[in-house]
Chain A
Amino acid sequence: MQLGFLVDLHLCMGCKGCEIACKVENEVPLSTWRLRVKYVDVGTFPETKRTFTPLRCNHCENAPCERICPVSALHYLDNGIVNIDKERCIGCAGCVMACPYGAIYIDPQTQTADKCTYCAHRVASSMMPACVVACPVQANIFGDLDDVNSNISKYIMKNQANVAVRKPEKGTNPHHFYVGGGNINLNPLASHRVDGHSLFNKITTLPVGGHH
């Protein structure tokens, strides 16, 4: 069994329900996140549109975080999930530096690395990850990539020409796919948020959680 995720970006409407569900389920502290819905505004007024892209750990088949972790706190489960043992983590932040997707953070409360685990604790109890349950439009599809009859496998086969992963050039073989993703929303260098043009005005910046 190799568990994987697919997000159909045609369906995602940016409600951030998955983000909140993840925060609640995993008690993710403020200033850090396991799952974030990235907004990218495209175009010039009045011809504008907003894209929504849920970003989480890609549970790579060839995970740089697992390779660099000196104490195997980051490890593969038999079902393909890249899990983390917070009791073993020494907080060297090597994994944070190695992850090409910025998906790992240092938890400011435990001072250890943390990230999305595909809700491994729920999966172990035959439940779906919290973000999948929360999605009102079933944009998050979770399942076994090895099973040709699973929803995710069927979805990938049906949308073969339109399935993408983030940063394929890194050779990490992500177990996380997007339908309808493009350079604008999957490449962090393809867009930038200009200061003063955010969802909120008068923004002040807090320190990044868990850093020195």
Chain B
Amino acid sequence: MATHEILAATNAVVTLDVALPGIVWPWLVTVNMWAKSIGTGVIFMLFLLIKKYPNQVGNLRFQVTVVSIVFIHIFLLFTLADLHQPFRMWHIFFYPNVTSAIAVGAWMATAFVGLLFLLAFLSFVKKNDVAFDKTLAWVVALAIPVTLYTAGLMSQCTARELWQMPTESAQMIFAALLSGSAFMILVFGNKLDWEVNKSLSRILALSAFISFILYMSEYVFGPMKAEELAAVLEYIKGDGEYAVMFWIGQWMAYLLPIFFIVLSRINKSKPILKFAAILALVGLWIVKHVWLMIPQLLPMS
């Protein structure tokens, strides 16, 4: 980063290069992770519905597949938009470095998109539910590493002590379960029986609860692990730059949805449940954004 002053006497600009921290991965990467969570999460939920409530699924096979295709493409679009040389994206396929989570993730995401289109073909053109359900099992198996590879990528950012593979993996999986169940409740909840909505809300509440525990564990115990981590977490504590946003995210994504889910079950109210789902989806974006930003504020040199 450069800093400068203008000297009145000479009108000269004095320039000094100094290293200051800057945001390298911006909000585009937040959208990337958020959209991927929904894209894989709804596939997990569809698999669950087919196994547990086969008579409720109806034409959800095709509709959920389309939702997944849309959100995975949002994920891919924002990944591309974040590249400084987007027209060189093809290098990943022709010069891949297999130790890179980015390269491995790109290959898996591509295969995932191919399988999603196969699912759409089986449900919309062939109308073959048996073949769809068999293929879906493979898609679910692939959706897990597609969800997790971003955790691998973040853990390869060894400079950012906050992002560790074990916790990031758990956070990614629970983010997918949370956003998948929330999206199903929000968009398809009216088509599904109250029992199905209850099951989805149970997944949403449990995912929110476990995710909240994970974040609080880092918040409280993280500073004991490493000096860098302690410094990073200062940004979400006290007067920290992201403290307010962090807590807004935690309340919106996790605590309030749990409260409204309990309330909806007491009142058997789908609108309250939908409100909890909206909070969870919006809150998840905020939570992910804060977690992406704070390690980037730390000076590295």
Residues of A within 8 A of B (CB): 19, 30-33, 36, 38, 55, 64, 66-72, 88-94, 96-103, 106, 111-112, 170, 172, 188-189, 192-193, 198-212
Contacts and interface: CB of A to CB of B under 8 A. Distances in A.
B300 interface: yes
With most chain B CB atoms within 10 A of its CB, the pick from A64, A97, A100 is A97
A106 to B, nearest CB: 6
Given A33-B19, A200-B16, A112 B158 contact: no
Interface string B207-236: 000000000000000000001100100000
Contacts of B296: 97
Q: Please provide the 7 A-B residue pairs with the shortest distance between their CB atoms, ordered closest to farther.
A: A91-B84, A102-B300, A208-B22, A70-B102, A102-B301, A70-B103, A111-B84
B84 A210 contact: yes
A31 B17 contact: yes
Contacts of B227: 189
Contact of A71 (B3, B14, B82, B91): B91
A172 B300 CA distance: 15
Given A69-B100, A72-B95, A102 B19 contact: yes
Given A94-B156, A207-B1, 7 more contacts: A36-B18, A69-B100, A71-B88, A96-B24, A189-B227, A198-B16, A209-B2
Contacts of A92: 82-84, 102
B110 interface: no
Contact of B1 (A31, A93, A98): A31
Contacts of A93: 24-25, 82, 84
B45 interface: no
Given A90-B85, A111-B85, A100 B91 contact: no
Nearest to B104: A70
Contacts of A72: 95-97
A55 B301 CA distance: 8
A206 B300 CA distance: 19
B106 interface: yes
Contact of B19 (A30, A36, A170): A36
15 contacts: A38-B19, A55-B19, A55-B301, A67-B156, A68-B100, A68-B101, A68-B156, A70-B92, A88-B88, A94-B100, A99-B159, A172-B158, A188-B298, A188-B301, A198-B16
Nearest to B301: A102
A16 to B, nearest CB: 10
With most chain B CB atoms within 10 A of its CB, the pick from A90, A103, A200 is A90
B5 A91 contact: no
B155 to A, nearest CB: 10
B148 to A, nearest CB: 16
B3 A189 contact: no
Nearest to A170: B158
Contacts of A193: 18
Given A31-B1, A206-B4, A211 B22 contact: yes
B21 to A, nearest CB: 8
A158 to B, nearest CB: 27
A205 B1 CA distance: 8
Contacts of B83: 90-92
B20 interface: yes
B15 interface: yes
Contact of B301 (A38, A94, A106): A38
A94 B95 contact: no
A101 B300 contact: yes
